[in-house]
């Protein structure tokens, strides 16, 4: 890689290249950097010597050994491999060097956005969505999905747009089609197949790196287990095999420029696997070139860039910091890149060369006003949530990057199943971590395509801050951060809407877009039923505070007022003249339910809400009755426990011995019906449910020191209905209406009415033959039906109707006689 001097001419450049056995392979418009192909060299030292020779000539300002990326691993100066590019890629310098190095920049293109410019999300709430192969009653198969709260987040999945693609620049080896990454575009358009042969230690094999990272982003939703963060996303692969870093940057820029509107760029790759190269001066020039491409193409405002921090954490401080591992990391870490050059004690000549290089790019003339602001540098956390030792230091955030499961294509030739067992592998490093965050970024932006890249970046940072300090980006809180306020609470409305008219879990109706008393009833039933137990996949939709539990006791941070702040505040809401005060630093699922049930989000019955929820706990005597089952059978008995005591003004409670307890019941019996609490403040009784009522109520009174309080629970009886078909009967007063002409030849129509008498004997009541008039065929038969009846019309005769029969079945009902139902009989049409 070489830098043309400002006064270089085409003749001088070609002369020096010919003298040194080199030719220009590629160069970018407006950039003085050219990539050369040279005769093969044996060592890195030989490559450096040739670079020094070129830099000492007049046409070149600087030169560095070229380092190309292989298909599966970097091939940095491998003996026998040409430095600067693959053999056979030599090209003549046919363009005028002066025009290629011109400091004028292309006009910045307007940063376009998606057609959806509103800040609200796409549509209305829908039911919980789980991967196709998952059982809602099974445990979550992969821990990282649970730790990142993806199951709480995926309730919004049906609302995603598909407008914002992911551009993934990575090392791709041989990449056959693979159903686990359906959104991955073709990778044959550039670079072809490179680096498939395993390295001597067997650590690199077909289909790794780029394919693996694509799987972490978007493995198929319909797979049996493996699933990416954003499995609906479109992934556009940029193949870096055989390219120098300067060429990689140009290829990425070209791909991004090829689309209008927002895009997410994910770069799991860094300078090379040998972090001691390139030298600081070369790094600074590449960072300046990247900033030049990004800004001159107008990409900064419409591209969110998720970059890996690098895996140099175990090296010396000079190379372990994340900003040294890639051009984009360096470009976003320094307002002025000359500051980075100065930190590394350059010679006066080197410093002057860099200033001259930036001047040639137009940097310093308005293009370099601050660092690039569209990058999130992602480090990796280990098993305990701390920074993974190998992860480069000082990233913007860290998330899971230790043994993350994802798809692979071919078993590791070295036999290491953790690398790939033929279908699944475990990936460790910042490339895996960046891929997870890149998938989340795409998910968020497709959920709210009208937002800017800075707003999506902010939502991810909120998710990281809400991750509880365990080295994870919390996807659920990142999605919640998309609500700009409670005046536009689309995400919160979705999370609170879990059913329509029917609240009988698990047979819930589809959510109806309204948060009402039916939703409250479902949440309370699940809170009582689960009570902090380990969740199954289908239960996560009821976890409101995102702590992977559904209960009324455990607390977790939650932004109740949707102000976007990561600083916990105390919020208040009025509940019947009483003030409900909650600390956002830790709230329970039940408290979140109370807060929103008394907010503008609630659209149901206030009377039913108040019956279901007791949000402001009164002081003094209290009584609690253990929850009754969701459904009971006739004559079923259940043991219940009553606890009683006193609640102080600070919310603390004291269970009391000797509180008088008495029961009331409707449709059930209780034994014993009265008594006093024991030393633990408890009283136990057995409730037996009757057989004559659909709904039964059990109430309990507590009395102590002239105070009296009441609590009740309601339960529904499970009903079984047996349908007995007594007889079939079709009213003989039947008339028919011929349908419109359909151009059928003359035909005889035979009508037969067949039914069963009560004794079960079949009898043909009427056989009627009519001659058709030649063009009318088909008829509608109407009659009164007392229960289900099947009628048929048999057609016979000439030509076009041979073998045709028409049948229909009525849809009627039965009069039910039972203490539980009163269903009217009615007439149906057959």
Measure the CA–CA gap between 795 and 41, rounded to whole angstroms: 89
Residues with pLDDT less than 70, the chain: 70-129, 132-133, 173-208, 221-225, 271-278, 364-369, 384, 409-410, 413, 468-469, 650-651, 718-830
Measure the CA–CA gap between 403 and 405, rounded to whole angstroms: 6
Cα distances (Å, whole numbers) of residue 609 to 125, 516, 659: 21, 8, 29
Look up tokens 């076009």; give the residue: 800
Number of Cβ atoms within 10 Å of the Cβ of 555: 14
Measure the CA–CA gap between 501 and 815, rounded to whole angstroms: 25
Contacts of 812 (CB under 8 A, 6+ apart): 785, 786, 787, 788, 789, 826, 828
Q: What are 664's strand-pairing partners?
A: 699
Measure the CA–CA gap between 106 and 612, rounded to whole angstroms: 64
Total tally of structural domains belonging to the chain: 5
Measure the CA–CA gap between 222 and 230, rounded to whole angstroms: 12
Determine the length of the chain: 830
Measure the CA–CA gap between 172 and 423, rounded to whole angstroms: 17
Environment class of residue 31 by beta-carbon count within 10 Å: exposed (0-12), middle (13-18) or buried (19+)?
Answer: buried
Is position 475 within any domain?
no
243 & 346 share domain:
yes
E-strand ranges in 468-615 read 570-575, 578-583
CB 699 within 8 A of CB 760: no
Contacts of 750 (CB under 8 A, 6+ apart): 767, 768, 769, 794, 795, 796
Q: Assign 455 to helix, strand or coil.
A: helix
pLDDT score for 280:
84
Which two structure tokens, joined as six digits, stand for 49?
């010597």
Helix ranges, 604-731 (H)? 606-612
The candidate with the shortest Cα–Cα distance to 392, out of 305, 318, 470, is: 318
233 & 163 share domain:
yes
pLDDT score for 183:
52
Number of Cβ atoms within 10 Å of the Cβ of 416: 16
pLDDT score for 192:
28
Q: Where does a domain end: 696, 717, 738?
A: 717
459 & 494 share domain:
no
pLDDT score for 759:
52
Going by the DSSP 8-state scheme, the letter that residue 797 receives in this structure is: S
Look up tokens 């060097």; give the residue: 97
Q: What are 623's strand-pairing partners?
A: 644
CB 435 within 8 A of CB 268: yes
629 & 668 share domain:
yes
CB 306 within 8 A of CB 377: no
Is position 38 within any domain?
yes
533 & 640 share domain:
no
593 & 641 share domain:
no
Is position 763 within any domain?
yes
Helix ranges, 20-160 (H)? 44-55, 97-100, 143-147, 150-153
Number of Cβ atoms within 10 Å of the Cβ of 149: 25
Q: Where does a domain end: 465, 500, 531?
A: 465
What is the DSSP pairing of strand 805-809 with strand 779-782? unpaired
555 & 694 share domain:
no
Is position 135 within any domain?
no
Look up tokens 């193409």; give the residue: 297
pLDDT score for 130:
72
The candidate with the shortest Cα–Cα distance to 211, out of 189, 240, 244, 178, is: 178
Find the helix or strand (DSSP H, E) in which 687 lies: strand 682-689
Contacts of 365 (CB under 8 A, 6+ apart): none
357 & 436 share domain:
yes
Is position 331 within any domain?
yes
CB burial string 62-71: b at 16+ within 10 A, e below = bbbbbbbbbb
Measure the CA–CA gap between 649 and 645, rounded to whole angstroms: 14
Q: What are 764's strand-pairing partners?
A: 754
502 & 641 share domain:
no
537 & 389 share domain:
no
CB 823 within 8 A of CB 815: yes
The candidate with the shortest Cα–Cα distance to 685, out of 631, 756, 625, is: 625
Q: What is the CATH number of the domain that holds 438?
A: 3.40.50.200
Is position 111 within any domain?
no
Going by the DSSP 8-state scheme, the letter that residue 626 receives in this structure is: P
The candidate with the shortest Cα–Cα distance to 407, out of 690, 214, 168, is: 214
Give, in degrees to the nearest 5, the angle at Cα 65 between 62 and 70.
Answer: 140
The candidate with the shortest Cα–Cα distance to 190, out of 130, 136, 237, 253, is: 237
The candidate with the shortest Cα–Cα distance to 344, out of 378, 321, 370, is: 321
Cα distances (Å, whole numbers) of residue 641 to 116, 445, 622, 663, 671: 55, 50, 14, 12, 12
Measure the CA–CA gap between 553 and 294, rounded to whole angstroms: 50
Q: Which structural domain, as residue segments, surrounds residue 671?
A: 620-717
Measure the CA–CA gap between 353 and 3, rounded to whole angstroms: 10
The predicted-structure confidence for 492-513, as pLDDT tens digits, reads as follows: 999 999 988 877 777 777 888 8
Measure the CA–CA gap between 141 and 150, rounded to whole angstroms: 12
Rounded to 5 degrees, φ, ψ at 357 are -60, -45
Hey, CA dihedral for 767, 773, 776, 782, is it positive or negative?
negative
pLDDT score for 743:
44
Measure the CA–CA gap between 755 and 479, rounded to whole angstroms: 61
pLDDT score for 786:
43
Give, in degrees to the nearest 5, the angle at Cα 827 between 822 and 830.
Answer: 135
pLDDT score for 592:
95
pLDDT score for 595:
95
Q: Where does a domain end: 100, 115, 132?
A: 100
Helix axes 517-530, 589-597, angle to 10 degrees: 170
Q: Measured in whole angstroms, how far is the alpha carbon of residue 704 from the centre of its chain?
A: 53
pTM over 0.95: no
pLDDT score for 509:
79
Measure the CA–CA gap between 302 and 264, rounded to whole angstroms: 9
Is position 121 within any domain?
no
Q: What is the CATH number of the domain that holds 647?
A: 2.60.40.10
726 & 713 share domain:
no
Look up tokens 């633990």; give the residue: 680
576 & 676 share domain:
no
Is position 159 within any domain?
yes
Measure the CA–CA gap between 642 and 828, rounded to whole angstroms: 52
Rounded to 5 degrees, φ, ψ at 446 are -75, -20
CB 730 within 8 A of CB 789: yes
Hey, CA dihedral for 54, 60, 65, 66, is it positive or negative?
negative
The candidate with the shortest Cα–Cα distance to 52, out of 242, 380, 282, is: 282
Look up tokens 């049996």; give the residue: 224
Omega before 672 within 30 of 0, i.e. cis: yes
Q: What is the largest CA-CA distance in the chain?
A: 113
Going by the DSSP 8-state scheme, the letter that residue 781 receives in this structure is: E
Going by the DSSP 8-state scheme, the letter that residue 420 receives in this structure is: -
Q: 697-700: list long-range contacts, CB under 8 Å, 24+ apart.
A: 697/664, 697/665, 697/666, 697/667, 697/668, 698/625, 698/628, 698/640, 698/663, 698/664, 698/665, 698/668, 698/670, 699/663, 699/664, 699/665, 700/623, 700/625, 700/642, 700/661, 700/662, 700/663, 700/664
């Amino acid at each position: 890689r070489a830098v043309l001097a400002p006064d270089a001419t085409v003749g001088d450049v070609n002369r020096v290249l010919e003298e040194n056995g080199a030719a220009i392979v590629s160069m970018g418009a407006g950039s003085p950097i050219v990539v050369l192909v040279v005769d093969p060299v044996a060592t890195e030292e030989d490559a450096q010597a040739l670079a020094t020779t070129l830099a000492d000539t007049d046409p070149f300002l600087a030169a560095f050994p070229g380092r190309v990326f292989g298909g599966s691993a970097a091939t940095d100066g491998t003996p026998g491999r040409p430095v600067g590019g693959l053999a056979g890629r030599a090209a003549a310098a046919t363009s005028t060097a002066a025009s290629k190095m011109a400091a004028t920049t292309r006009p910045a293109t307007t940063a376009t956005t998606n057609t959806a410019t509103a800040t609200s999300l796409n549509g209305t709430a829908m039911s919980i969505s789980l991967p196709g192969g998952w059982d809602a009653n099974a445990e979550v198969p992969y821990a990282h999905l649970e730790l990142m709260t993806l199951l709480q987040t995926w309730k919004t999945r049906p609302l995603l747009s598909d407008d914002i693609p992911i551009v993934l620049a990575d090392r791709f080896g041989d990449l056959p089609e693979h159903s686990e990454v359906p959104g991955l575009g073709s990778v044959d358009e550039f670079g072809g197949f490179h680096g498939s042969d395993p390295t001597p230690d067997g650590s690199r094999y077909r289909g790794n790196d780029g394919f693996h990272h694509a799987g972490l982003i978007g493995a198929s939703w319909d797979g049996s287990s493996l699933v990416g963060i954003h499995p609906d996303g479109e992934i556009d692969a940029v193949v870096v095999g055989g390219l120098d870093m300067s060429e990689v940057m140009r290829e990425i820029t070209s791909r991004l420029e090829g689309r209008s509107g927002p895009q997410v760029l994910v770069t799991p790759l860094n300078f090379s696997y040998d972090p001691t190269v390139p030298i600081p001066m070369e790094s600074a020039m590449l960072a300046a070139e990247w900033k030049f491409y990004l800004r001159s193409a107008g990409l900064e405002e419409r591209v969110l860039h998720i970059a890996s921090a690098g895996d140099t954490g175990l090296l010396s401080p000079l190379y372990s910091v994340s900003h040294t591992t890639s051009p984009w990391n360096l470009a976003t870490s320094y307002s002025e890149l000359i500051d980075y050059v100065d930190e590394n004690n350059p010679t006066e000549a080197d410093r002057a060369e860099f200033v001259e290089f930036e001047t040639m790019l137009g940097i310093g003339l308005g293009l370099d006003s601050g660092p690039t602001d569209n990058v999130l540098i992602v480090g990796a956390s280990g098993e305990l949530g701390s920074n993974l030792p190998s992860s480069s230091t000082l990233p913007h955030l860290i998330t899971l990057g230790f043994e993350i499961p994802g798809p692979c294509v071919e078993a590791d030739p070295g036999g290491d199943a953790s690398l790939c067992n033929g279908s699944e592998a475990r990936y460790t490093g910042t490339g895996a971590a960046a891929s997870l965050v890149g998938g989340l970024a795409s998910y968020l932006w497709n959920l709210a395509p009208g937002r800017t890249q800075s707003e999506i970046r902010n939502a991810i940072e909120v998710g990281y801050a809400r991750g509880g300090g365990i080295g994870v980006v919390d996807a659920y809180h990142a999605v919640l951060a998309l609500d700009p306020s409670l005046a536009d609470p689309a995400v919160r409305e979705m999370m609170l809407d879990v059913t329509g008219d029917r609240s009988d879990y698990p047979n819930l109706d589809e959510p109806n877009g309204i948060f009402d008393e039916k939703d409250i009833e479902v949440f309370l039933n699940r809170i009582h039923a689960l009570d902090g137990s380990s969740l199954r996949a289908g239960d996560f939709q009821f976890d409101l505070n995102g702590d992977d539990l559904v209960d009324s006791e455990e607390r977790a941070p939650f932004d109740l007022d949707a102000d976007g702040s990561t600083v916990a505040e105390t919020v208040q809401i009025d509940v019947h003249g009483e003030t409900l005060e909650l600390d956002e630093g830790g709230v329970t699922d039940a408290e979140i339910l109370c807060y929103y049930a008394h907010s503008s989000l609630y659209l149901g019955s206030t009377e039913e809400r108040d019956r279901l929820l007791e949000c402001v706990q009164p002081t003094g005597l209290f009584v609690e009755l253990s929850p009754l089952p969701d459904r009971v059978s006739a004559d079923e008995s259940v043991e219940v426990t009553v606890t009683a005591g006193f609640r102080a003004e600070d919310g603390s409670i004291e269970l009391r011995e000797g509180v008088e307890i008495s029961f009331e019941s409707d449709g059930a019996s209780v034994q014993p019906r009265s008594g006093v609490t024991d030393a633990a403040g408890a009283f136990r009784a057995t409730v037996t449910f009757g057989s004559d009522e659909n709904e039964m109520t059990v109430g309990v009174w507590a009395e102590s020191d002239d105070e009296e309080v009441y609590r009740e629970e309601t339960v529904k009886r499970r009903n079984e209905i047996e349908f007995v078909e007594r007889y079939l009967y079709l009213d003989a007063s039947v008339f028919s209406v011929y349908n419109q002409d359909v151009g059928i030849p003359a035909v005889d129509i035979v009508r037969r009415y067949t039914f069963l008498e009560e004794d079960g004997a079949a009898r043909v009541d009427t056989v009627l033959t009519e001659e058709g008039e030649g063009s009318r065929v088909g008829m509608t038969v109407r009659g009164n039906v007392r229960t289900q009846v099947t009628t048929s019309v048999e057609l016979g005769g000439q030509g076009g109707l041979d073998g045709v029969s028409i049948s229909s079945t009525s849809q009627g009902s039965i009069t039910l006689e039972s203490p539980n139902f009163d269903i009217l009989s009615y007439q149906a049409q057959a």
